[in-house]
Structure 1
Amino acid sequence: MSKSLISLAVAAFVLSGCSLIPDYKQPAAPVAAQYPQGPAYAPAQAANVAAAEQGWRDFFHDPSLQQLIQSSLLNNRDLRVAALNIQAYQAQYRIQRADLFPAVSATADGTRQRTPADLSRTGAATVSGDYSVGLGISAYELDLFDRVQSLSQEALQTYFSSEEARRSTQLSLVANVANAYLTWRADQELYVLTQDTLKAYDESLRLTSRSNEVGVASALDLSQARTSVESAKVSLAKYQRQIAQDLNSLTLLVGTSVPADLTTQPLASNLLADVPAGLPSDLLQRRPDILEQEYLLKASNADIGAARAAFFPSISLTASAGTSSSQLSGLFKGGSGSWMFEPQINLPIFNAGSLRASLDYSKIQKDIHVAQYEKSIQTAFQEVSDGLAARQTYQQQLTAQRDFVQANQDYYRLAERRYRIGIDSNLTFLDAQRQLFSAQQSLITDRLAQLTSEVNLYKALGGGWVERTGQATVPPEQVVPKG
């Protein structure tokens, strides 16, 4: 028996460390080395602080928006689920890693039995007992080809991916709260603008009605003035509905009620900081969705090792040692010791192609994760490129729109003056009113579009994770769970 144990130990030592996990190689990024360039694009300049390291409190200047984001990080249910998923995957990893070690259990049992006389060999009733105490190892697999280690590595990489999934959820939540808040503020400003415009239309209708009574304005002029009033009322109802729906959406994202006493700032104020664009290669280390896909790729790579190891023999050990006696008082007396050693080897011979299919499936899953990893890089590159194009063109568009609003204000003042002194008809004055209202609406919506594009660019670059600039994050691989 001792020779068998020594031979088995030598074989385990020689074969141990034969990992069948393929060497991992990070796929090449399927994007250009530089962001697109041209008249529509703002130049991407490297900065001392990457967007991913720029805290959201430093990016968003509006204190009310900061308050809402902070509340969402505490109360949003999607983020809470993502955090709980991390704990779940961590537990799964600990369960899988436990298979690397033998499970030792202690047992104690006793039996007391009476045999009637007609069943007893001696012809007399007997009372017998059986007691035992022991320690045992049951079906512990010697991981000669790293099958169990491969499964443990797969669970570990999946756990790492769940951490990146939570970061991605938080990043999206910060951006969604900001965009919902900005949309809410834009609709509020459009509502106030519509109220002011409606007052001007009502005053114009009153003047036109008086002029019609004295024969100066025609019925057509009066009808046009009334049309403008009703149109403004339609817009007023629309913005009132949108404000309520925007607030509902914001409440859902925040996870709790939005304070009624929020002190808001105009959209035209300096609400956001500049976003440093960096280089395309930065996305591979900054974007949590890309890192999530890479961890899943590593997990599928480890799964191939487990599928390969299934082709080779597996050895499991069952052993126990203890003491047994027919009397409870004799359990620990000399000569009552007992032991059992039961090695078992399993060699796959015929399984109708099941193992080969499992290996093929693992390889296909890896190819799928490679494609998903590459797609996440391409998506990130496209989102950043769109953000850079939006930054440059929206600045130009807003400048032109402000000039357009100023021109319409001049046109409105001139048309109003000429109408009041009787030079022009009421139609020219109403046209000036409508054009000014439309231009002011477009200015608010263009400003909203510019702000949301900057928020989306901040998100695309991996920003929105830390709270303060310079607050470093620890890579998940450096925080391996204990236990």
Structure 2
Amino acid sequence: MKRIAALLPAVLVSGCLVGPNYVRPPPATLPTQAYKEAEPVTGAAAVFQPAQPRDGVDRGPWWQSYGDPVLDSLAAQIDVSNQNLKVFEAGYRRARALIRQDQSALFPTISGTGAAQQAGTGGLRGTTGTTTTITRGDSSQGQYTTGATLAWEIDIWGRLRRQIEGDSAAAQASDADLANARLSAQTDLATSYFGLRISDDRKRLYEETVAAYARSMQIVQNQVDAGIVSRVDLAQAQAQYEQTRAQLVGEAINRALFEHAIALLVGKAPAEIGIEPSRTQLTVPTVEAGVPSTLLERRPDIAGAERRMASANAQIGVAIGAFYPQISLGASIGFLAGGLGSLLQIGNAVWSVGPQLAGTLLDGGALSAQVEGARANYDATVATYRLTILTAFQQVEDALAQQRILVQQEKVQRAAVAASREAERLSLNQYRVGTVPYTTVVQTQATALAAEQTLLTIRLNRLIASANLVKALGGGWQQADLPAVTPIGGLKRANPAPPALPTPPPQPAPSPAVPTVSATR
């Protein structure tokens, strides 16, 4: 037994880890040096570098680039009150607790028992007339027991350590999910706020248009009173006036829905949120995407998918470990006595100690099927990882194309608005002198209103496209602590190289680290 105890430390230190060691598979396609829809990148920033996931970093207050204090105050409430974020945060804490539970299996388990029992005969009751007779037994005996047991599974094959490795990677994936949920909530809040402010602008446009149509209707009324035109013109003017008023009333629905969505995102009931109408003063930032390879460093969903690959790889080792016998060390000691005072005397002790071996001899192929299933699950996570990367590049390219093209479209649309307003002014002047029918005025006014509505829609699309690009790039990246795997599989807050590989080599600082944002109106 002494020899076994002396060999145990050496066995644990040199014990193998069954199953494959994790090596991150490459993406389906390697990133290029520049995005297709972006301006060419030159200089040092164009040099390709291997990407490392940075899933725990702070995403930064990127919404401040829009220059709106109300948006800043609302976005600050997401970390405090957003209930969906609390769900992911609780999931991360649960994953951390599971690691500690796994780690406990590496150490001995000691349990204790104790009991007291009194046994005897007697207690017979008899009744004769009005007299009750109780006969007590002459035999009564007490019995007291106590003891302790020790059980310790020796993780020679590394099955328990593979489980810890897998759950540690899963916890890192939960941390990435939390970061992704935070970024999504921030983006949803920004887009809802953009919609609300554009709704304010659209309402203001309707109010101004209704006032203009009222003046036009008065002009037609004067013409009718003077007998110059028929009442058909007046009916047309009234119809256009009332239709625009209906649009003005209906716009309140859009604003209310945006405000309610904002309330949900900041974790409040709609009755608790009231945002005063205001003219849009939002600055539309132009976001520089940087080098495509850095996308793998900034996207939390990519980091989460990569960590799930590592977890699935470790589960292969757990499944393979079931083929090997479990070796454990057990020990127990118990005391049995008729009296409590003599219970712990050495003469009343019963003890046992020794190793145990347990393994599956015949299972009909169940263990092989588990290994096959674990490998298939790993292959699925690899495909998911590669699909996540391809989807990320698509989202960035989409947002870049929208950002670039919408700037051009807004420029053209502003020219269209100016032309339509000039046509509206000229047609109304010509109607006053009787050179054109009122249908011409109606058409030019409708065209001018539609042009203004389109301009507001383009403005909203530009704001949303910029927020989507920030989200597609993973937010404003900055150096921060990352959750890293400790030697026994736990998590600690540190700032080493990212945990993409079991023992990653030192990596140079990524460049550029943060998407460049420039403000445009």
Give the structure-1-normalised TM-score.
0.87
Structure 2 residue aligned with 1:376: 388
Select 2:274's aligned residue among 234, 238, 260: 260
CA distance in 1, matches of 2:343, 2:58: 67
Q: Does 1:131 align with 2:144?
A: yes
Aligned to 1:26: 24
2:330 maps to: 318
Do the aligned partners of 1:412 and 1:436 also contact (CA within 8 Å) in 2? yes
Q: Take 1:366 and 1:334, find their aligned partners in 2: how far apart are those partners?
A: 55
Partner of 1:353: 365
Distance 1:241 1:334 in 2: 84
Distance, in Å, in 2 between the alignment partners of 1:208 and 1:342 is 107
Map 1:173-212 → 2, pairs under 5 A: 173-212=185-224
| Deviating more after overlay: 155-164 vs 26-35 | 26-35
Name the SS for the 2:356 alignment partner: strand
Structure 1: how far apart are the matches of 2:85 and 2:78? 9
Instruction: Decide whether the 8 Å contact of 1:58 with 1:273 is kept in 2.
Output: no
Whole-angstrom distance in 2 between the partners of 1:304 and 1:376? 23
Equivalent position of 2:482 in the other structure: 475
CA positional deviation for 1:255: 1.6
Matches within 5 A, 1:447-458: 447-458=459-470
Shift of the 481–29 alpha-carbon distance from structure 1 to 2, 3 Å rule, reads: closer
* Other-structure match for 1:344: 356
Give the 5 Å matches for 1:35-434.
41-43=38-40, 46=45, 54-114=60-120, 126-138=139-151, 140-256=152-268, 257=270, 259-260=273-274, 262=276, 264=278, 266=280, 269-321=281-333, 323-434=335-446
Equivalent pair of 2:34/2:41 in contact (CA under 8 Å)? no
Cα distance in structure 2, aligned partners of 1:409 and 1:253? 39
Distance 1:314 1:442, change over 3 A: same
TM superposition shift of 1:364: 0.7
Deviations 1:191-221 (A, max 9, x none): 1111211221222123223323433223443
Deviation, 1:321, is 3.1
Percent identity over paired residues: 30
Q: Distance in 2 between matches of 1:53 and 1:59?
A: 14
Bigger Cα displacement from structure 2, 323-332 vs 241-250: 323-332
Q: Which whole-Å CA distance do the structure 2 matches of 1:325 and 1:245 have between them? A: 76
Greater relative contact order: 1 or 2 (C-alpha under 8 angstroms, separation 6 or more)?
1
The one-letter amino acid of 2:31's match is: A
Q: Which amino acid aligns with 1:188?
A: D
Question: For structure 1, which segment, 361-370 or 66-75, has the greater mean C-alpha deviation from structure 2 after superposition?
Answer: 66-75
The one-letter amino acid paired with 1:360 is E
Distance verdict in 2 for CA 1:41–1:226, change over 3 Å = farther
Distance in structure 2 (CA, Å) of the matches to 1:35 and 1:440: 40
Q: Provide, for residues 79-136 of structure 1, a one-character-per-residue CA deviation record: whole Å limited to 9, x for no partner.
A: 11111111222222222221111111233334443367xxxxxxx9554444344332
CA pair 80-204 structure 1, distance change in 2 beyond 3 A: same
In the alignment, the residues of structure 2 paired with residue 446 and residue 388 of structure 1 have an alpha-carbon distance, to the nearest angstrom, of 15
Task: Kindly provide the amino acid, as one letter, of the partner of residue 474 in structure 2.
Answer: G
Aligned to 2:513: none
8 Å Cα contact 1:41/1:391 also seen in 2: no
Q: Is the 8 A contact 2:427 2:441 kept in 1?
A: yes
SS of residue in 1 equivalent to 2:86: helix
SS of 2:77's equivalent?
helix
2:364 & 2:381 partners in 1: Cα distance? 28
Contact 1:154–1:303 (CA under 8 A) maintained in structure 2:
yes
Deviation, 1:355, is 0.4
CA distance in 2 between counterparts of 1:324 and 1:225 reads: 105
How far does residue 32 in structure 1 lie from its aligned partner after superposition?
4.7
The more displaced of 286-295 and 227-236 is 227-236
**Aligned partner of residue 361 in structure 2, secondary structure:** coil
Matched positions, count: 462
Question: What CA distance in whole angstroms lies between the structure 2 residues aligned with 1:172 and 1:314?
Answer: 45
Q: Equivalents in 1 of 2:94, 2:191: separation in Å?
A: 31
Q: Following TM superposition, by how much is the alpha carbon of 1:259 offset from its aligned partner in structure 2, in angstroms?
A: 4.3
CA distance in 2, matches of 1:335, 1:359: 51
Asked if the contact 2:168–2:491 (Cα under 8 Å) also holds between the matched residues in 1, the reply is: no
Distance 1:432 1:327 in 2: 108
Distance 1:427 1:449, change over 3 A: same
Distance 2:183 2:142 in 1: 67
Q: Distance in 2 between matches of 1:259 and 1:293?
A: 36
Q: Structure 2 CA distance, aligned partners of 1:35 and 1:473?
A: 26
Rounded Cα–Cα distance in structure 2 between residues aligned with 1:92 and 1:181:
39
Q: Distance in 1 between matches of 2:233 and 2:34?
A: 53
Report if aligned partners of 1:284, 1:291 keep a CA contact under 8 Å in 2: yes
The 1:180–1:390 alpha-carbon spacing in structure 2 relative to 1, beyond 3 Å, is same
Question: In the alignment, what sits opposite 1:120?
Answer: none
Distance 1:58 1:244 in 2: 24
C-alpha distance in 2 between matches for 1:355 and 1:335: 47
Larger fraction in helix: 1
Q: Look up the equivalent residue of 1:25 and give its one-letter code.
A: V
More strand by share: 2
The answer for unaligned runs of 5 or more in structure 1 is 117-123
Asked if the contact 1:30/1:374 (under 8 Å) is kept, the reply is yes
Q: Distance in 2 between matches of 1:127 and 1:434?
A: 106
State the distance in 2 between where 1:177 and 1:370 align: 32
Q: SS at the partner of 1:455?
A: helix
Structure 2 partner of 1:6: 3
CA RMSD of aligned residues (A): 2.9
1:350-398: per-residue Cα shift (whole Å, max 9, x none)? 1111101111110111011111111111111111111111111111111
Q: What is the distance in 2 between the residues matched to 1:367 and 1:288? A: 21
SS at match of 2:274: coil
- Alpha-carbon distance between aligned partners in 2 of 1:361 and 1:11, rounded to the nearest angstrom: 33
Deviation at 1:175, TM superposition (A): 0.2
